Structure 1
Amino acid sequence: MPPLALLTFFALMVSLAALPSASVALVVTRSATLGFRNGAAVAAGIVAADLIFASLAIFGMVSLAQTFGGVFALMRYAAGAYLIWIGIGLIRAGQTTPATPAATGAATLAKSFLAGLFLTFGDLKAILFYASLFPTLFDLTRFGRTDYLLILAITTITVGGVKLGYALLARTLVERWKSTRVTRPVKTIAGSVLIGTGGYVILKS
């Protein structure tokens, strides 16, 4: 596989992962309100979905994904509704209660992981993105096991690394200005952002 193609893919994935999006909003909010581990769990869910999408594209299963587009639509609606639910909870918590300690239980981490997974699964266009990108950058007729593993590794490092960076930054800022006066407005703002993001996820085509 040409090194230039790999570098181009790496740079493109970093740039796309860093763009403001619903996934970034979810990572930042979960990390800021529940702790870095929850932000990392969301990032892991996003990466897992991206790896599945990349695999579908590489193995020529885009048509299968399009056939089951209704399933992906349901996942998008569920993810959007979940974002709205989290946002409402944050607004209520910011108005009525002081800051709570970070939640790191297995159940909470699992919810964060699934939130990132289903949010990304809801975007069927991601498969089409990979399907159109790979033939442009790579010769898929000569695509071997090593090439496939390289793609998965780059996807994990770029998407996961950027999302973890957002999670760490969000938690660092919260810890630096940790007080009820600061935390309550932050929760209200974060909740409003998630509600808006959830609405966008549900309504987008």
Structure 2
Amino acid sequence: MSSGNYLALFGAMLLLAIVPGPAVFAVIARSFSSGFSRGLLMIIGITLGDFVFILLALFGLSAIAEVMGTAFFILKYVSAAYLLWLGINLIRSKASSLELDASDESSFLSNLMTGLLINLGNPKAILFYIALFPAFINVNQVVAIDVLIIMGVAALAFGSVNVFYALLAVRAKKMFKSPNATSVINKTAGTMMVSTGALIAIKA
């Protein structure tokens, strides 16, 4: 693949990444309620999910996705249920302090796994890669270095946009200083998480 192909692929992914979806809303809600570090862990999990789908698409394993239909179904509802649970807890929480960055409501690993589950629970993601790659890649001539570069392109395109959204959420949170504002933050983030979980659950 030429550098021009990689650049074009990056541009296409970047444009698609800018459009918010369930993963973006989950990242925003987590960053808004619990700080950038936990939002970043969720982004890493989402990116790992992208890597799985990239490998499936590049090596013609889309048929495996069909076989894994039940697994996708389970992952989808596990991630939705977890987001609903987090959201409800936030909505019900009391405003007792201004420090939300180091909240103990979720571990770093749980945030990473939530991001991974959100992505793996969306089997349409592999269809996106299967449809996109032929326009930029000769999949019959892909070698190991190409796979690594494509993963890097995806991580840069989708990851940078998600990090931008996470930073915006953290910046918005810092504008609130009173306990009442903390309550608003919790309820807003909780509502976003519940909505995202519901969207994931009902989305075909």
Scaled by the length of structure 2, the TM-score of the pair is 0.92
Aligned to 1:181: 180
Cα shift at 1:152: 0.8
1:34 and 1:96 mapped to 2: Cα distance? Answer: 14
In structure 2, runs of 5+ residues without a counterpart are none
Contact 2:42–2:113 (8 Å) recurs in 1:
yes
2:192 and 2:74 mapped to 1: Cα distance? Answer: 22
1:26 and 1:163 mapped to 2: Cα distance? Answer: 10
2:37 is the alignment partner of 1:37: yes
Cα shift at 1:181: 2.2
Scaled by the length of structure 1, the TM-score of the pair is 0.92
Cα shift at 1:103: 2.4
Contact 1:98–1:184 (8 Å) recurs in 2:
no
Cα shift at 1:59: 0.9
Identity, % of aligned positions: 33
Aligned to 1:162: 161
RMSD: 1.7
For 2:151, what is the secondary structure of its paired residue?
Answer: helix
1:84 and 1:3 mapped to 2: Cα distance? Answer: 43
2:179 and 2:11 mapped to 1: Cα distance? Answer: 40
Cα shift at 1:100: 4.2
Cα shift at 1:101: 3.6
2:88 and 2:30 mapped to 1: Cα distance? Answer: 14
In structure 1, runs of 5+ residues without a counterpart are none
- Residues 149, 104 of structure 1: alpha-carbon distance in 2 compared, 3 angstrom cutoff: farther
How many residues get paired? 203
1:83 and 1:104 mapped to 2: Cα distance? Answer: 16
Cα shift at 1:26: 1.2
